[in-house]
């Protein structure tokens, strides 16, 4: 029997049949997977372009486009992607701020227990010092949250806009998470105190005297989600 004759007679017993294989040798289901992968890549590219465009309009000088889409840009940028500078006009901080927090909770006997003050700014500095790759959150999260709080509240601690309410909750949640991470016991309320200190001019001899605070701001008690229960 020739090879041609054997092929015409069909496969031998036990020989594998490839009749179910699709044309081109691709396994079943390859086309939907490729389509899904292409859709995911396009979605990521679209999100990246939207993010870059929104951040650019946020930091760019006022222009017709940024004014027209200011609401959409603010909704995308705040509070996680805010930039502490303006294009062509950086505006760095000219003071040092210490953000402190204390907590309170109601004990089983009905009394209110208040903790000592915790210097969150000092904890951030300790996390950054001697770290060759400090995280962005350790350097800027708390500082920028407070700056945004001041922008929306001014000297009045009453939230008078939806963004002010958002920034108040954002700042309170950061403080609560920092305290909860140190296992300071249960608490239901947090209170912040912000001490603003001047930055000495270059070459100024300050000696060992600590700078005199220019502001010592005590915020009201804020209720947060119970921790440590």
User: What digits encode the pLDDT tens for the residues 10-54?
Assistant: 555 555 555 555 555 566 667 888 888 999 999 999 999 999 999
Separation in Å, CA 1 to CA 8, 65, 173 = 11, 81, 83
Q: Which position has the higher pLDDT, 222 or 135? A: 222
Residue 222's pLDDT is 94
The pLDDT tens digits for 42-89 are 999 999 999 999 999 998 888 999 999 999 998 888 877 877 676 666
Q: At 182, phi and psi to the nearest 5?
A: -100, 5
Instruction: Count CB atoms within 10 A of the CB of residue 103.
Output: 26
Instruction: Count CB atoms within 10 A of the CB of residue 115.
Output: 16
């Amino acid at each position: 029997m020739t090879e041609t004759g054997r092929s015409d007679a069909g496969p031998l017993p036990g020989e594998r049949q490839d009749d179910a294989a699709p044309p081109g040798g691709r396994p079943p289901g390859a086309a939907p997977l490729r389509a899904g992968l292409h859709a995911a890549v396009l979605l990521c590219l679209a999100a990246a372009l939207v993010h870059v465009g929104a951040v650019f309009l946020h930091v760019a000088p006022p222009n017709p486009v940024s004014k027209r889409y200011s609401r959409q840009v603010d909704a995308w940028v705040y509070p996680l992607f805010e930039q502490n500078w303006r294009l062509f006009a950086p505006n760095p901080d000219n003071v040092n701020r210490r953000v402190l927090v204390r907590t309170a909770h109601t004990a089983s006997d009905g009394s209110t227990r208040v903790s000592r003050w915790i210097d969150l700014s000092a904890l951030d500095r300790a996390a950054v010092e001697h770290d060759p790759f400090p995280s962005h959150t350790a350097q800027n999260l708390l500082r920028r949250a407070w700056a945004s709080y001041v922008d929306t509240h001014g000297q009045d601690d009453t939230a008078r806009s939806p963004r002010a309410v958002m920034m108040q909750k954002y700042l309170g949640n950061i403080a609560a998470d920092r305290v909860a991470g140190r296992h300071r016991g249960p608490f239901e309320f947090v209170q912040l105190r912000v001490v603003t200190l001047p930055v000495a001019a270059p070459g100024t001899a300050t000696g060992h005297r600590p700078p005199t605070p220019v502001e010592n701001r005590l915020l009201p008690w804020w209720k947060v989600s119970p921790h440590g229960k």
